[in-house]
Amino acid sequence: MIGIESLLLYILLGCFVGIAAGLLGIGGGGIIVPSLVTIFAMQGMDSENIIHLALGTSMATIIVTSFSSFRAHHKKGAVLWSVFKMMTPGIIIGTFLATFLASLLSSFYLAIFFSIFMAYVSIQMFINKKPKPSRKLLDSKGQFTAGTIIGAISAMVSIGGGSLTVPYLIWQNVDIRKAIGTSASIGFPIAVSGTIGFIINGWSNTDLSNYTLGYVSLPAFFFVAICSYFTAPIGVKLAHSLPVGIVKRVFSLLLVSLSVKMLFSFI
């Protein structure tokens, strides 16, 4: 059974993720995955599937946050739906197939891959490096290929793709606001496809007595998603009063710390 302590931790995690998402414009996978690994370990879950469950649950929460986000961006006219349509087929294929690869890897190797990728994201966030716009939008074939790659990596580390999609679109001379809005819309098919993939691949691990469906923990999904949905507006307000550049650097150090802690728990 899941104790009250775990439920409180899910709520706190969801609140923190929502604020971070609103403040920094990022998805919560970098926080959610290592945090869930710690919480699941406290519950005595099998270490062999613990990261798979964290990845699948994190991906499920992104369905809610990305849906809310892209609706808001759409109302402001900040979504390039033509790019969305070209990238989405590749996004769906890449994300879904990568969940099969993730299911074949042990938690140890997934932890290594996750930590390396989060280190890369943290460094980019810390130095605030932005790609130089250098070309026009690629054709449908190029967007499909890019979508497949972004979807595959997103599934392996359970992110909405923002850390990859935004720089990719800026590189194609897309305005930063439209790059963020389009990235938010692309996060939705990533999350849906990834969640379905993790449920299918983890179906043999379904345990309704512990409220797990495939590689998705239903209580964690519910409380983290709901709380992050309602606290994201707080982060948006803070973004207009706090020095976001400094906050990003502090947050990047937090991502590295969480990833390293998770990695060492498997060594």
The 3-class SS string of 42-68 reads HCCCCCCCHHHHHHHHHHHHHHHHHHH
Which one has a higher pLDDT value, 123 or 61?
A: 61
Residue-level pLDDT at 18: 81
Share the mean pLDDT of the chain.
85
Residue 148's pLDDT is what?
A: 96
Between CA 117 and CA 119 the distance in angstroms is: 5
Largest CA distance in the chain: 54
Q: Which of 231, 267, 253 lies closest to 14 in space, CA to CA? A: 231
Residues in contact with 127: Cβ distance below 8 Å, sequence separation at least 6, in sequence order: none
The model's confidence at residue 36, banded by pLDDT at 50, 70 and 90, is very high
Who wins on pLDDT, 116 or 60? 60
pLDDT single digits (tens) 205-239 = 898 888 999 999 999 999 999 998 888 778 767 76
pLDDT at position 15 over 80: yes
pLDDT digits over 62-94, tens only?
888 888 778 877 888 888 999 999 999 999 999
**Residue 95 — very low, low, confident or very high, per pLDDT cuts 50/70/90?**
very high
Per-residue pLDDT for 265 more than 70? no
> What pLDDT shows up at residue 163?
77
Quick check: 22 pLDDT over 80?
no
Range in 24-28, 69-73, 106-110, 171-175 with the lowest mean pLDDT: 24-28
The secondary structure of 116-168 as a DSSP string is: HHHHHHHHHHHHT--PPP-S----HHHHHHHHHHHHHHHHHHT--SHHHHHHH
The per-residue pLDDT for range 108-167, each reduced to its tens digit, is 888 888 888 888 888 877 777 666 776 788 899 999 999 999 999 999 988 777 778 888
Whole-angstrom distance, CA of residue 152 vs CA of residue 93: 8
Give residue limits of the domains in the chain: 4-264
The DSSP result for 72-128, as a single string, is HHHHTT---HHHHHHHHHHHHHHHHHHHHHHHHS-HHHHHHHHHHHHHHHHHHHHHT
Give me the percent of the chain exceeding a pLDDT of 70: 92
Q: What is the mean pLDDT of residues 42-55?
A: 86
The number of beta carbons lying within 10 Å of the beta carbon of residue 129 is: 9
pTM listed for this prediction = 0.85
Residue-wise pLDDT for 175-212, tens only, equals 877 888 888 889 899 999 999 999 999 999 898 888 99
Task: For residue 242, give the DSSP letter.
Answer: S
